[in-house]
Amino acid sequence: MPWTKVYVDKSEFEKAAQLQKEGLRGLTFREALKEATAQMMEKDDRVFVMGEGVDDPGGIFGSTQGLHKKFGKERVMDLPIAENGMTGVAIGAAMAGMRPIFVHMRMDFLPMCMDQIVNHAAKWCYMTGGRTNVPLVIRSIIGKGWGSAAQHSQALQALFMHIPGLKVVMPSTPYDVKGLMVSSIQDGNPVMFIEHRWLYEQIGHVPEEIYTVPIGKGIVRKQGKDVTVVAVSNMVYEAMKAVQPLEAEGIDVEVIDPRTIKPLDEDLIIESVKKTGRLVIVDIGWKTCGVSAEIAAVVAEKAFKYLKAPVKRVTLPDVPTPNSPVLEDAYYFDYKRIVSSVKEMFREV
Amino acid sequence: MVRFERTINMPEKILESFNVKHLSILDEKGDTDESLMPSLSDTDIKMMYELLVLSRTFDHQALNLQREGRIGSYAPILGQEASQIGSAFALEKTDWIFPSFREIGVYITMGYPLHMLFQYWSGDERGVKTPEELNIFPVCVPVGTQVPHAAGAAMAIKYKNKRKAVAAYFGDGGTSEGDFHEGMNMAGVFKLPVVFICQNNHWAISVPREKQTASKTIAQKAFAYGFEGIQVDGNDIFAVYKATKDALDKAKKGEGPTLIECFTYRMSDHTTSDDASRYRFKEELEAWKPKDPILRLRLFMEKKGLWTGQYQKEVEGRAKEAVDEAVKKEEAIEHPEPKDMFTFTFEKLTQRQTKQIRDFQ
Ligand SMILES: Cc1ncc(C[n+]2csc(CCOP(=O)(O)OP(=O)(O)O)c2C)c(N)n1
Ligand SMILES: [Mg+2]
């Protein structure tokens, strides 16, 4: 299927587009996200966008660019800088029947909204016995690169996974970002919608009409029989890049993209591990209590006897993001680390 | 049957009313209101001027280096020099400073090593490892979050009964954050020795001042918290200095906090990653050009006989030399080692970290 495929770069997509007779409609991740937002705003007048800089000419890395011209500044609202209070405002609007999309330029601003997200957005549905739910989408962007540093590049997905009442999605492809945005807007509960900045340029097939990708369903990006690699967000691309070098070593990798990390598609991962007997988890967050810890625990609980080797985790070291380019180089990793970790796993046994 | 004998009159009473003052001393032509002029010696005035020129030279050089890819991103202070140097000039080395991310003028005035400022902006966090003799806190990137820290430090000073004060710097955008209001409220309730210095440069990235708050001034926000707020011409170094000095004296006497709104303008882009021409009108920028803080001090000094073309050359020469030397010094610093990121995560290395470092290498 053209849309389930990950195109590691533009030329790969172009080649695929030429082969497909009916033609593939290529969109970047940012265009797909903007299209989903615009189409849902057109279809449903309860949907609106709020956030610092959403009407800036840059438009949140282009993902909201020009929407204020189309829908007006009441529906594409720039805000005073007050993250926690504005989350409260979004919750109030959602409880009163609106469908807000609150956008944060950087995920690091979410810790400022923790009270409203954790104590309110996540709780009202439960506390009111389902009478008052909070259909709110909170978009946030993870950064990386020179100058982002400790307070501007954090990948905090695990914090939100921990909270009952929140759903957490991390799409990796243009097709999924559109389908998951539509699902998130339609969902009756708060959804943390997490994007990695380095995904915006990724290109892929995106149908023109409105469609959904179900929340809680992962996908096998590449089938294989020797080892399961579960990779999150932009790490899906790194995992795909690791496929060939590992093939050259005689290791056939299965790549799983969970797409939603809560609720997690446990069955998909378990089934894969039952087949391969090996699991490597690749996350862009920290190790301790991270996404990788949860996935490893699930597999330990439900597929322990199938494991031929201890689970491996490829994550960031447990330290704040350094600013120095030299340290940053050592801190982050790419497909090469995945290759070496997988190889190590086969050597150890 | 009840009969009303008389009707009474109960007009609404005015319980409190406030006046928001604007202070300016030095005008665009370099003339001053002598009755308001703070006591500053000729040497002080020359020192102020030299700091203004040094800061602008630094700013300029930082932008050049950024363009050449030698430093990462940078937040310029062009246009805001008087707000920063005027206020910092009133501070003593023993006072505590909580800056935001756009305060290199304050750092420079307090004598922070220039090469360390370059080091920070070139992406090496060791640049904000403040030298022992200075009480200046690291650059604060999350907007407004340093305001309660300043109130906390002021509380510590009060508790220890020291004759010191705290200066908290933040922007117009920062005043929308809950932290700003909570910090101000706390300072008011406990009469803390802190001066809140707002750099109202009229923009928060692409958000104009009037979209940030519906109040006419930022200064007036102080009255809600039970203390005084004043607006000063932020491009007038004498007004900024006087307001800060008075507020610091008041704080040190135990008479509580003050909010100073420096009315100024961000003449440059938000940072080097921004392009302000996409969202603001050129006319606005042009209108602020004649209000330049350095130009008006120069005109004043010229009238006083404190400024000559020769002096200007010397001042510029010294500034350039200091900045060039700082760049050289910064570039000679050895890169940190990857294991350093573990070393400073906690005060002492934990057992688990010791193992992680081993795995990491
Ligand atoms: C808590 C938080 N929210 C948003 C941002 C993104 N941001 C960085 S600077 C800035 C504008 C700040 O404006 P202002 O306080 O007026 O300071 P100025 O940049 O004008 O000096 C914003 C929104 C941030 N750094 N921290
Ligand atoms: Mg500002």
B123–A325 CB contact, under 8 Å = yes
**Which pLDDT does position A7 carry in this prediction?**
87
Same domain, residue pair A49 and A190? yes
A151 domain-assigned: yes
Query: Would A59 be classed as within a structural domain?
Result: yes
Q: Do A257 and A199 share a domain, yes or no?
A: no
Residue A2, pLDDT above cutoff 80: no
| pLDDT at position B249 | 98
Asked if the structure places residue A173 within a domain, the reply is yes
Let me know if residue A211 belongs to a domain.
no
Inter-chain CB proximity A57 and B336 less than 8 Å: no
Within this chain, do residues A175 and A228 fall inside the same structural domain, yes or no? Answer: no
* Cβ atoms of residues A64 and A54 within 8 Å: yes
pLDDT for A4 equals 77
Confidence of residue A15 (pLDDT cuts 50, 70, 90): confident
* Sheet of strand B21-23: strand arrangement: B21-23, B228-233, B258-263, B194-200, B166-171, B96-98
Write the DSSP assignment of A47-70 as a string of letters. EEEE-TTTTSTTTTTTTSTTHHHH
Q: How far is A322 from chain B (nearest CA, A)?
A: 7
Q: How far apart are CA B187 and CA A260, in angstroms?
A: 45
How does residue A142 score in pLDDT terms, banded at 50, 70 and 90? Answer: very high
Cβ contact B100:B140 at 8 Å: yes
Say how far apart CA B185 and CA B183 lie, in whole Å.
5
What whole-number percentage of chain A has pLDDT above 90? 88
Q: pTM of the entire structure? A: 0.94
Coil, strand or helix at B337: coil
A137 and A28 in a common domain: yes
B240 occurs within a structural domain: yes
DSSP 8-state secondary structure symbol assigned to residue B165: -
CA torsion B317-B320-B323-B325 (nearest 10°) is: -70
Q: Is position B10 within any domain?
A: no
In a domain, B199, yes or no: yes
Torsion of CA A144, A146, A147, A149, to 10 degrees: 50
Question: How close does chain A come to B90, measured CA to CA in Å?
Answer: 30
Does B341 sit within 8 Å of A317, measured CB to CB? yes
Per the annotation, the verdict on B70 as an active-site residue is no
- Boundary-marking domain end, from A178, A205, A232: A205
Please name every residue paired with A203 in a beta bridge, in sequence order, or none if there are none: A28
More confident residue, A16 or B83: B83
Number of domains in chain A: 2
Closest CA to B219 of B234, B238, B203: B234
What is the DSSP code string of A63-115? TSTTHHHHH-TTTEE---S-HHHHHHHHHHHHHTT-EEEEEESSGGGGGGGHI
Residues A177 and A304 in one domain: no
- Whether A213 maps to a domain, the answer reads no
Residue A230 covered by a domain? yes
Contact A318 B125 (CB under 8 A): no
pLDDT tens, per residue, chain B with 361 residues: 667 788 888 899 999 999 999 999 999 999 999 999 999 999 999 999 999 999 999 999 999 999 999 888 899 999 999 999 999 999 999 999 999 999 999 999 999 999 999 999 998 999 999 999 999 998 999 999 999 999 999 999 999 999 999 999 999 999 999 999 999 999 999 999 999 999 999 999 999 999 999 999 999 999 999 999 999 999 999 999 999 999 999 999 999 999 999 999 999 999 999 999 999 999 999 999 999 999 999 999 999 999 999 999 999 999 999 999 999 999 999 999 988 889 888 989 888 888 888 877 7
Q: Tell me, yes or no, whether A116 lies in a domain.
A: yes
The predicted structure's pLDDT at residue A16:
81
Question: What integer best gives the mean pLDDT of chain A?
Answer: 95
pLDDT at B314 (0 to 100): 98
- Could you tell me if residue B229 is inside a domain? yes
Residue type, A101: I
Question: What is residue A11's predicted lDDT score, i.e. its pLDDT?
Answer: 85
Residue A248 shares a structural domain with residue A139: no
pLDDT tens digits, one per residue of A238-288: 999 999 999 999 999 999 999 999 999 999 999 999 999 999 999 999 999
Does residue A153 share a domain with residue A270? Answer: no
State yes or no: pLDDT of A18 exceeds 80.
Answer: no
Identify the CA nearest to B296 among candidates B238, B243, B244.
B238
Do A54 and A164 sit in the same domain of this protein? yes
Q: How many residues does chain A have?
A: 349
- Domain with A313 in it: what CATH number? 3.40.50.920
Atom 4 of ligand 1, residue of closest alpha carbon: B143
> Which CATH number is B58's domain given?
3.40.50.970
B228 alpha carbon to ligand 2 midpoint, in Å? 21
Contact yes or no for A219/A165 (Cβ under 8 A)? no
Any idea what the CATH number is for the domain that residue A53 is in? 3.40.50.970
Contacting residues of B for A56, CB less than 8 Å apart? 205-206, 278-279
Residue B358 lies in a domain: no
ipTM above 0.95, yes or no: no
Q: CA-CA-CA-CA torsion for A173, A177, A180, A184, nearest 10 degrees?
A: 150
Model confidence at A146: pLDDT above 70:
no
The total domain count for chain B is 1
Mean pLDDT, residues A167-182: 98
- Domain shared by A73 and A200, yes or no: yes
Distance from CA of A287 to the nearest CA of B (A): 11
User: A22 pLDDT exceeds 80?
Assistant: no
Residue B108 included in any domain: yes
**How far does the centroid of ligand 1 lie from the alpha carbon of residue B191, in Å?**
28
- The domain of B261 spans 21-30+40-336
Looking at the fold, whether A24 and A139 belong to one and the same domain comes out as yes
A142 in any annotated domain: yes
B341 located within any domain: no
Whether residues A307 and A223 share a domain: the answer is yes
Q: Examine residue B353 and state whether it is found in any structural domain, yes or no.
A: no
Mean pLDDT of A160-170: 98
Its domain, for residue A303, covers 219-348
How do residues A35-90 score in pLDDT, each as one tens digit? 999 999 999 999 999 999 999 999 999 999 999 999 999 999 999 999 999 999 99
